[in-house]
Amino acid sequence: MAKPNEKLAESLHVLKDMQDQGNAVFQTQDMSRTHMERLKQAGFIKQVMRGWYLSSRPGERDGDTTAWYAAYWEFCKTYLTNRFEKAWCLSPQQSLLLHAGDWTVPDQLLVRAKGASNKSTGLLHGSSIYDVAADLPDAADQTQLNGLRIYTLDAALVAVPEAFYRNHPVEARTCLAAVKDASGVLRLLLENSQVIRAGRLMGALRSIERNDLADQIESAMIAAGNKVTETNPFDADAAFAIPLRDVSPYVNRIRLLWAKMKADIDADFPEPARQNDPDAYIANMDAVLPSDAYHSLSIEGYQVSYDLIEKVSSGDWNRDMIGSDREQRDALAAKGYVDAFETVKTAVRDVMNGENPGEIVKRDLQTWYQALFGQSVQAGILNAAQLAGYRNHPVYIRGSQHVPLNVEAVRDAMPAFFNLLREETDAIARVVLGHFIFVYIHPFPDGNGRTARFLMNVMLAAAGYPWLVIKVEQRDAYMAALEAASANQDIKPFATFLAESLRR
């Protein structure tokens, strides 16, 4: 008779086979009741709604959203296709968000579908799907993105209400910048004499200095006998009115986020001490290293002690001293942090000597990352390929509705990020946005939080501020402030958090 662990292993093989086929979510009928109950009891799957499950990790705390947010879009695609076959499409508003590269998990997903029930279906962690029995766009005005049925870019821009421009100005302008010519929107505007929507699009396009497209819409509408009154659907804000030249919507979105958030930073930062002696500054860094390493690693979930960090930083430590797997992981993380901290000193010295902070970060960022994980590679815990640089797989942030940029987008966005750091003349903006935009992109497979705090401190040194230790006791407030910026584009809580931390 098979033992309980052998039975669970059998069920795990079934689950793995499904995952290998790309099934992150599945229905009750996709596996036997016996396997389902074993896996559910052991914590390897969790119920989304009646009849639907997703993979999870045993030991997840109540309220941990990571597994759900990671599987959210796959679930929506599978569930909606199962329910409506091909007769569904996400709303024009949600379509534009996805066209702009914003994969943030919404509180409620709006879906148009034939045979819809006009009601909300509750899902995990307060999210829901609301299906509306409304006309679908013509086949020519639909497209698919990662299996999700959405409006084409042109059709969504014509269909969205005016409120979208005010509520999502960054994404709206990102999408407007991606319009190559006016013919696509003009077909839809002219077919139904959409004079109000035409005037709205004209004003929106002029706000990003696409006067050529606005003029094309105006002349075509007039030629068809329509009188058009141009209106700007955006709230007046000069920070948005910037020319957008890049093909990648991700680059435009990063630039627009930077411009919008820079205008929103109004926290009362203390006056910098203007420390001008790099040697004295680095001596202070050495003094604060044990505290900084302890708190930065603890924020990321490592269990390290001051004693361990002191041993590592003094050289009185080697890998042979490590006991359990957990101790090895934590100790190597501490050694990697100390090694990276040493490399960051070079950047601090250079920015204090007047070199451009953006150029220094571009030069040294990969070195910091490699130092963080070099010891783990040498110990055989990580594959050497992980030191190559930017990630080649999706990542998810524990507890966050924000989904970091996809693999291709990272390679577009990082050069733009370095340019923004290099071009920025406001020292406070470099501190706040340097940290936030970096974690928003999340370019590395791991270590993004630690690297972001290194980057922030290099920007602080360039501005004349001392090294800032964000303490593990502040973790909840710190992560909530970053989440407000990531999910709601509200940078004010994070700017205030940093200003108050510096005052303390």
263-503, which class in CATH? Answer: mainly alpha
Task: Give pLDDT, residue 347.
Answer: 97
| DSSP 3-state percent helix, strand, coil across the chain (nearest 5) | 60, 10, 30
Closest C-alpha among 296, 239, 295 to residue 264: 239
Task: Give pLDDT, residue 127.
Answer: 94
Task: Give pLDDT, residue 118.
Answer: 95
Closest C-alpha among 414, 345, 323, 338 to residue 374: 338
Radius of gyration of the chain (CA): 26
10 Å CB burial of residue 39 (0-12, 13-18, 19+) is buried
pLDDT tens, residue by residue, 115-131: 999 999 999 999 999 99
**Domain ranges in the chain?**
4-60, 154-245, 263-503
**Distance (Å, rounded) from C-alpha 295 to C-alpha 292?**
5
10 Å CB burial of residue 14 (0-12, 13-18, 19+) is middle
**Secondary structure string (H, E, C) spanning 119-149:** EEEECHHHCEEEEECCCCCCHHHEEEECCEE
Strands 148-151 and 45-49: unpaired
The dihedral through the CA atoms of 15, 21, 27, 32 has a sign that is negative
DSSP 167-233: H-HHHHHHHHHT---SHHHHHHHHHTT-HHHHHHHHHHHHTTT-HHHHHHHHHHHHHTT--------
**Quick check: 456 and 421 in contact, CB under 8 A?**
no
pLDDT tens, residue by residue, 317-365: 565 555 555 677 888 889 999 999 999 999 999 999 999 999 999 999 9
**Quick check: 90 and 151 in contact, CB under 8 A?**
yes
Q: Exposure string (b/e) for 79-96, b if CB count within 10 Å is 16 or more?
A: bbeebbeeebbbbbbbbb
C-alpha atoms less than 13 angstroms from C-alpha of 455 in its C-beta half-sphere: 30
**Distance (Å, rounded) from C-alpha 306 to C-alpha 323?**
18
Task: Please name the residue that has the structure tokens 């390290």.
Answer: 304
Task: Give pLDDT, residue 318.
Answer: 60
Residues in the chain with pLDDT < 50? 238-239, 241-243
Task: Give pLDDT, residue 434.
Answer: 98
**Distance (Å, rounded) from C-alpha 149 to C-alpha 205?**
26
Query: Residue 87: helix, strand or coil by DSSP?
Result: coil
Token readout for 42 is: 């052991």
**Secondary structure string (H, E, C) spanning 225-274:** CCCCCCCCCCCCCHHHCCCCCCCCHHHHHHHHHHHHHHHHCCCCCCCCCC
Task: Please name the residue that has the structure tokens 């009115």.
Answer: 241
Q: Is the pTM of this model over 0.75?
A: yes
